[in-house]
Structure 1
Amino acid sequence: MTQHLTTGERVAWYRHRRGLSQDVLAGLVGRTADWLGKAENNRIELDRLSVIRALAHALDVSIGDLIGEPTLLEWSKDSGQRTVPALREALMDYRLLTPLIGTPADGEPPTLAALRSDVGEVWDAYQDSRYGFAARQLPPLLADALLVARTCADGEREEANGLLAMTYQGAAMVLGKLGENELAWMAADRGLAAAQLSGNNVIIGSLFRSVTHCLLSTGRFETAAQLVRDAAGFLEPGLGEPTPAYLSVYGTLFLTGAMAAARAEDRATTQEFLREAESAASRLGADANHMWTAFGPTNVAIHRVATAGELGDMQIAAELGPEVDTRGLPVERRVRHNLEVARALSAWNRTDEALAAVLEAEQLAPEQVRHHYMSRDLVLGWVRGTRGRPSQPVADLAERLRVV
């Protein structure tokens, strides 16, 4: 019912449903009624998740309710006509819960080599922002991975559980991008359990990152930051002579933590976590993609821009963002950075540059742009803020994003 509304308009919609006046809701979030009126009428952009969380809490709704998530995953050649519901069914298959009541698939399990290849294919699709393809591949892959983990020989069980964990993490990451936060939590939780059975601290660290992402998406920012501290403490003993994959997972964990701290408006912790990530990136020496982390100095620079935006330092984000060269990173990272830059530029009324950044992102990854609340809210804001008809490029983009 609210898919064609901006975040501010959704606040107004839910406020009316709750029977609250602007004065009352504004007081609950420590703002003035004038500020809330401007936010609801799109004269102030609600572009910080810390503010959106406060409004969601006061209205007793989820952050997803206010930012319009989840959104419908469009059918495509990649996705077929069985998308998120099929993945939901796979995660809720009771046979996944315990071997006492059956196995989730019939027939011969794939070899570890075949499973390793299939898991890599899904993760590559995630980093290419091909969510429809990943959503289509994940249900049978989950069944295969679990079957392998339950039936393999003792000497292969740890690797099999590691691949199962990475399959669950792939599901969690894709579902998170689609706004399916509860399903993402379920997948991350099961993935962490499998990771522990693998005995592989790199995989365990990778799953810690997924759990942190899930906490972020549901507005539990302080808890997410604390999890990063706890997880880092678990990983620190392995930093004496770490592999590149170990350093990458460790550093990426702090990047996720920096976003959590920024959304919690904790500047000191944000900078602390960014410094830890920068130190790990320096030890790594260059951008890399171990364990599909895209970790390195450039990803740290991306997160400096993103955290500045979350802290409300839009001028800093607008100045730093265009200077970061992301061409060597996976598509998902490049596109997310473009959206962060567009948000900062739009906040400074540099709409033409912001539009160019979104259009470039859409050319790289239309599915990611279609499903990210930031791009949808930016475009809706431009449409609402234009007297008369919006420009043709904005109108066409709004049509492609299904926001009008």
Structure 2
Amino acid sequence: MRGIGQDLTVGERIAWYRRRRGMSQEVLAGIVGRTVDWLSKVENNRIDLDRLSVIRSVAGALDVSIGDLVGEPTLLDWNADSGTKTVSALRDALLNYRQLSPFIPGPVAEAPDVAQLRSEVTQVWDAYQASRYGYVVARLPQALAAGQAATQTYEGEDQEQSFALLALTYQAAAVLLTKLGEADLAWIAAERGFTAAQRSGDVVVMGSLFRSVTHTLLSTGRYREAKQLTTDAAAYMQPGLGEATPEYLSVYGTLFLAGSVAAARDEDRSAVRSFLNEADETARRLGHDANHLWTAFGPTNVAIHRVTTAMDLDDVQVAIDLGPRIDTTGLPVERQARHALETARALSAWNRTDEAMAVVLAAEQKAPEQIRHHAISRQLVQNWMRRGRGRPSYQLASLAQRVHVTA
């Protein structure tokens, strides 16, 4: 973030950047097609501004990024898993110029055999889905180096498998960095992963990396491009649907889940319906919830995305009606926690603060690192702290401390 701390709400950040740009409320409100009264209420925390489509519009008018307004990137806490080298070590690994070409001279790490490499990638992804961010960020630099060494050492089928595993490692880096608000680094990881996926010749891995690129486009507010990429990626995979394996179906289906979020943030209701219907049909063909290639795809994840897209379209009633009824216990912890945050966001929008906080606290018990580092958690707590009358409750004050929000 440019010249501003972590302790402001989205509305307060808008006011800060507006003044920095020398803009009046009348001018900014006119640019984004809103009233001055609306903007005043946003800046004074009387309206929660959490729709990313609107935030993108305001960010564009102020010539800042969405991350600047929502308070990203976040500082990843040190813990026993992460040690004291977290995102900086991963940044060094991604920006190592020797990765640009195998013809640049330099030392090459000893290559693990393909089975060992697959085991390392599995451990990283399993930890991500368990919301162990510290563990993932600590293991990724080593896993990337191992994957690169394998692709340079082996030939034939072993090399193709190594490229596939390297692509999935880059994808793990991209999804984690997206969660932490490191959009530029996430894009580098997704792009490198896509290149490795192409070298693997594996259509399923290619589809998985298409999804990763879609998420990085989402994180930078490029919703229309993300929506189009969904259509293009689906067309790429469609010829293989006739004999699709469960893994193939899972990757294909998740393309539409990511696309539905892009469409919702682009305020394209028709595309949202189309993408969710395609995902639902694919989930029915799969027949059950599964986690092939760490997609967590199935009927429940489709239902989760109906809630997410409803919130992005400001259909709060739909989200409140559906969200609390979805049983996510069969899904990975990461999915459970993410849905909990969306449900809490819906409840909070209707001033059901106590219920919303209970949902967040329950999710924190399962996924403390995810809840404490997610922008939605911070925005919710900031709004609750600002809106409360008098001293906050012990529960809220303690939660605020854990998510690094001050009164």
Interval of TM-score (by shorter of Structure 1 and Structure 2): over 0.9
What residue number does 1:35 align with?
Answer: 38
Segment of structure 1 superposing worse, 356-365 or 280-289: 356-365
Match of 2:328 in 1: 326
- Name 2:194's counterpart in structure 1: 192
Is 2:22 the counterpart of 1:19? yes
1:84 paired residue number: 87
Read off the aligned partner of 2:30 and give its amino acid letter.
G
Q: How many angstroms does 1:339 deviate by?
A: 0.4
Please list the CA deviations of residues 87-106 of structure 1 after superposition, one character each: whole Å capped at 9, or x if unmatched. 00000111111111135643
- Contact map agreement 1:341 1:354 (CA 8 A) in 2: yes
Letter in 1 for 2:100: L
Matches within 5 A, 1:1-400: 1-102=4-105, 105-106=108-109, 108-400=110-402
Aligned-partner SS, 2:103: helix
Q: Is the 8 A contact 1:95 1:104 kept in 2?
A: no
User: Aligned partners of 1:362 and 1:82: how far apart in 2?
Assistant: 24
Q: Sequence identity, in percent?
A: 64
User: Could you tell me how far 1:322 is from its partner in structure 2?
Assistant: 0.2
Number of equivalent positions: 403
**Matched letter for residue 312 of structure 1:** D
Deviations, residues 324-376 of structure 1 (Å, cap 9, x unaligned): 00000001100000000000001111111100011011111111112211110
**Larger mean Cα displacement after TM superposition, 227-236 or 385-394:** 385-394
Give me the whole-angstrom Cα distance separating, in 2, the residues matched to 1:11 and 1:184: 25
User: Aligned equivalents of 2:16 and 2:363: distance in 1?
Assistant: 30
Distance, in Å, in 2 between the alignment partners of 1:17 and 1:191 is 38
- Displacement of 1:218 after TM fit? 0.2
Q: CA-to-partner distance for each residue in 1:102-137, whole Å, 9 max, x for gaps?
A: 35643x311100000000000011111111110000
Partner amino acid, structure 1, of 2:92? E
Contact 1:104 1:146 (8 Å CA) reproduced: no
Moved over 2 A (4+): 102-106
**Aligned partners of 1:287 and 1:294 also within 8 Å:** yes
Deviation at 1:300, TM superposition (A): 0.2
The letter of the residue matching 1:241 is E
Root-mean-square deviation (Å): 0.8
State the AA in 2 paired with 1:395.
Answer: A
Distance (whole Å) between structure 1 residues aligned to residue 173 and residue 107 of structure 2:
17
Assess if the C-alpha contact under 8 Å between 1:205 and 1:249 holds in 2: yes
Deviations 1:54-108 (A, max 9, x none): 00000000000000000101110010011000000000111111111135643x3
* 8 Å contact kept, 1:96–1:103: no
Which whole-Å deviations, capped at 9, do the CAs of 1:32-52 have from their partners, x for residues lacking one?
Answer: 010000001110000100010
Do the aligned partners of 1:52 and 1:63 also contact (CA within 8 Å) in 2? yes
| Cα deviations by residue, 1:283-313 (Å, 9 ceiling, x for unpaired) | 0000000000000000000000000000000
CA contact (8 A) 1:104 1:147 kept: no
Say if 1:221 and 1:260, in contact at 8 Å, map to a contact too.
yes
**Pair 1:345–1:191, CA change in 2 (3 A):** same
Conservation of the 8 A alpha-carbon contact between 1:212 and 1:227: yes
- Structure 2 residues not aligned, in runs of 5+: none
| Partner Cα distance (1:362, 1:25) in 2 | 37
Q: 1:206 is paired with a residue of what secondary structure?
A: helix
Note the residue ranges of structure 1 that are not aligned, 5 or more in a row. none
CA contact 1:216–1:224 (8 Å) conserved in 2: yes
Take 2:169 and 2:108, find their aligned partners in 1: how far apart are those partners? 16
Q: Give the structure-1-normalised TM-score.
A: 0.99
Using structure 2 for the length normalisation, give the TM-score: 0.98
Contact 1:96 1:104 in 2 (8 A): no
